[in-house]
A and B are shown apart, each in its own frame.
Chain A
Amino acid sequence: MDLTRRDAVAALAATGGAVAVGRAFLDSPSTESAAADAAVPENALASLVAVAEVVYPDAATGVGDFVETYVAGRVADDDARRAGVVETAAALDATARDWFETPLTDLDPETLDGMLRDLRVDVSDPDPDGGLPGRVRFYVVNELLYAFYASPTGGRLVGIENPAGHPGGVESYRQAEMSSETEDDG
């Protein structure tokens, strides 16, 4: 399953307020949209993409564009969320440098997976004001999982094209089978 920027915009639809930014990004001729680039530093986005490669299923490809578009849209109008995401990504990167003497983005997925589990991010309650594991769970892992599974993109892998949080209309609940991916997901 190849993730696209259009998937990211669909994921953003679940979060409403940032859709316009997402659409502007989608419609821009290149990824160097000023509106998007200004939002989150490149190194933070790269860290998020690296974590996404771990927390998303192997079936997901095209993760980079999906995450960059989604995150840019999510934080566009939310300074507190942007600060939380950027600071937490930086703290996670600092942990990688401390533990492995290398940037987080240079870790192979298995090592990064192990680092997140050693930090107990997998079993921590998400907490935007908590310690590093709670903040990583909230600002990084759950942000990424929300983007994926509250959108038709991730939902379809599970068997639902209109997951909770996605405004996918009032047709799918009546259908006996999942509609084809080419149909409008709302």
Chain B
Amino acid sequence: MAEESSDRTPAPRADVCVVGAGPAGAIVAARLAEAGHDVVVLDAGPRFDLADREAQLDAHLRPGVNGLWDMGGERDAYATDGPRDYPLNAARVKGVGGSTLHWQGMVMRLHERDFELRSRHSVGTDWPIDYADLRPYYAAAERELGVAGADDNPFAPPREEPFPLPAFPPSHSDAIFAEACESLGLPTHSVPNARNSEPYDGAAGCAGYGTCKPVCPSGAKYTAERHIARAEAAGARVIDRAPVQRLVHDDAGRRVEAAVYATPDGTEHRQAARSVVLACGGVENVRLLLLSDSEAYPDGLANSSGLVGRHFMDHCFAGAGGRIDRPTRQNHVGFNTTECHALYDGTDPLPGVKLEFLNYAGPSPVTQALGADDWGDALLDDLRDAYGTHLAVGGLVEQFPNAENRITLDRSTTDDHGNPVPKVRWSVGPRTRAAIERANEVQVAVLEELGAEVDWVVGPDATGPAFHHMGTTRMGTDPAESVVAPDCRTHDLDNLWIAGSSVFPTGGAMNPTLTIAALSCRLADRLDGWL
């Protein structure tokens, strides 16, 4: 953990108070601070010191070392009550950088169909904005994150300029997959990565540690720490270990007046601000609104629609793996370089499916060695047997919004400040299950085309979430049907804005962070104009 900030008192004046120092909030903070506004950022977690990243790599690779990102305990208590368990604390990081500290860094644009599901297919809902509205902000977001990519995806929506950085070239195993995919009519293409293929914006190029998720010691993987640094350089005040307890509004119930936050010494402070941007993720955004209930908003702040917390969505993993009779050269790097979006825009299945060709199939020798119950020559023999010929195809599958999947408060359990903890109810519906099965069919077909012996399949029963929290403060034009307006400002309060994937009306099957960043760029423009 970085050196303690000594002063956690409020700023005397703030144009904007941003709650949450992950990518959604950090980008807003940086752009508004650079535009000359007085910005304060509050985050519940600590600053993690860049000098500790190698030690964190140890914590990841070596069993018996704890505390990679310090998630868990009373601060992060939660409950689940749905048909599926939801491992919430594996799915997020609290601290400066937020969940980009442990993310993998895949950054695709949503496709045009993602904004128009209701119109095109009579499912889900339409976004109140379309791809064309977001397109210039996607380009801005790619520059903000330093995306390495290539314009080689025949299924991707139109783009107007090259990626900021060249794509990482395909892996050896990508070349193996490409043969099979070509014969099955599945074009493959590069993966846009928020990871420096060469030095960019003061950060190093990828060093190949192979541990991107959950920690990049080289600094080549984008984390929102970069935008927090930019915000601070432009004069923003960033206060860590300052969990916001509630938002307080004026008598009329039209404006948030202040964010009340706690500090490690037990003191509560009140940060007044002309505007507030809520950016603490699809779970904590909801929790903070519900904790801020009042006479004017008995069901939670900004919750006149009753939809705060509803329509919680994630992406479901589908995958298959096996072994072939030749070297596959896995586990050199921890990121992927080839995908296939061929199944994404059609109707078989209707939910979006994105296929990923993994560069880290099968065991990593060092991880296997540290957990083995043998050593010497016997261990080396085991490692040689286990390594070298694995292949795997993963994928993300879309969930359509379902109001019963939701975040609420568990009033029977409280956190370290006595606040009720979040409760997650998550299920996987029949359409998603069928789409996962379809993804599995294609994944197994690719492996069998290569003559692989398929030894695992993750299907609808074994699927799990990809840790993308979406939909819980959805965007729309009708205040009865949505929480925020198309500019990401809440319908109920004039100066309360929400950044992040909680505003997504639908989630597609693309990793959400590029869209989060694009919406934050757009929100910053709108808020700048409002201020």
> Which residues in A have some Cβ–Cβ distance to B below 8 Å?
14-17, 54-59, 113, 122-123, 125-128, 134, 137-138, 141-142, 145-146, 148-150, 154-155, 157-160, 162-170, 172-177, 186
Contact = CB atoms under 8 A, between A and B. Distances in A.
Interface stretch (B86-94, B154-162, B204-212, B404-412): B204-212
B169 A165 contact: no
A58 B266 CA distance: 58
A16 to B, nearest CB: 3
B475 to A, nearest CB: 38
B184 interface: no
A38 to B, nearest CB: 22
A166 to B, nearest CB: 7
Interface in B23-61: 51, 53-55, 57-58, 61
Given A160-B332, A168-B208, A174-B170, A146 B64 contact: no
29 contacts: A15-B58, A17-B51, A17-B54, A56-B375, A57-B377, A57-B380, A122-B374, A122-B375, A126-B62, A126-B64, A126-B370, A142-B62, A142-B370, A145-B369, A146-B61, A150-B366, A154-B369, A157-B384, A158-B365, A158-B387, A163-B331, A164-B61, A164-B210, A164-B211, A164-B331, A167-B207, A170-B207, A173-B208, A173-B332
Contacts, number: 159
Contact of A58 (B64, B175, B376): B376
Interface residues of B, number: 52
Given A126-B64, A160-B329, 16 more contacts: A15-B54, A16-B217, A57-B379, A122-B373, A137-B64, A154-B366, A155-B365, A155-B366, A160-B332, A163-B366, A164-B61, A168-B332, A170-B208, A172-B208, A174-B170, A175-B329
Given A128-B64, A176-B172, A149 B366 contact: yes
B55 A165 contact: no
Given A164-B367, A170-B168, A176-B172, A55 B375 contact: yes
A58 B208 contact: no
B329 A165 contact: no
Contacts of B377: 57-59
Contacts of B365: 149, 154-155, 158, 160, 163
Contacts of B169: 174
B332 A162 contact: yes
Contact of B207 (A122, A146, A154, A169): A169
B53, B171, B370: residue with the most chain A Cβ atoms closer than 10 Å: B370
B63 A126 contact: yes
A158 B375 contact: no
Interface string B222-245: 000000000000000000000000
B375 A174 contact: no
Contact of B384 (A56, A159, A173): A159
A142 B376 contact: no
B208 A169 contact: yes
Contacts of A14: 57, 209
Interface in B487-507: none
A54 B377 CA distance: 9
Closest 8 pairs between A and B when the two form their complex, measured CB to CB: A16-B54, A126-B64, A173-B332, A167-B207, A55-B375, A164-B210, A57-B380, A149-B366
Contacts of A125: 63-64
B383 interface: yes
A160 B360 CA distance: 12
A131 B175 CA distance: 48
A160 B61 contact: no
A57 B439 CA distance: 42
A145 B375 contact: yes
B207 A173 contact: no
Contact of B171 (A162, A173, A186): A173
Interface string B437-468: 00000000000000000000000000000000
B196 to A, nearest CB: 10
Contacts of A148: 369
B218 interface: yes
B64 A164 contact: no
A138 B171 contact: no
Given A57-B379, A128-B64, A146-B61, A167 B217 contact: yes
Contacts of A56: 375-376
Contacts of B422: none
B209 A146 contact: no
A99 B377 CA distance: 26
A152 B387 CA distance: 15
B346 to A, nearest CB: 31
Contact of A170 (B206, B331, B367, B388): B206
A158 B208 contact: no
Interface string B192-203: 000001000000
Given A138-B64, A141-B375, A160-B332, A167 B55 contact: no
B390 to A, nearest CB: 12
Most buried by A among B51, B168, B210: B210
A125 B372 CA distance: 10
Contacts of A173: 171-172, 208, 329, 332-333, 337, 359
A3 to B, nearest CB: 14
B57 to A, nearest CB: 6
Contacts of B170: 174
B369 A159 contact: no
Nearest to A159: B388
B334 interface: yes
Contacts of B379: 55, 57, 145
A181 B170 CA distance: 23
A179 to B, nearest CB: 11
A149 B383 contact: yes
Contacts of B61: 146, 150, 164-165
Contacts of A15: 54, 57-58
B332 to A, nearest CB: 4
B64 A186 contact: no
Contacts of A159: 327, 384, 387-388
Nearest to B205: A170
B376 A16 contact: no
B364 interface: yes
Contacts of A142: 62-64, 370
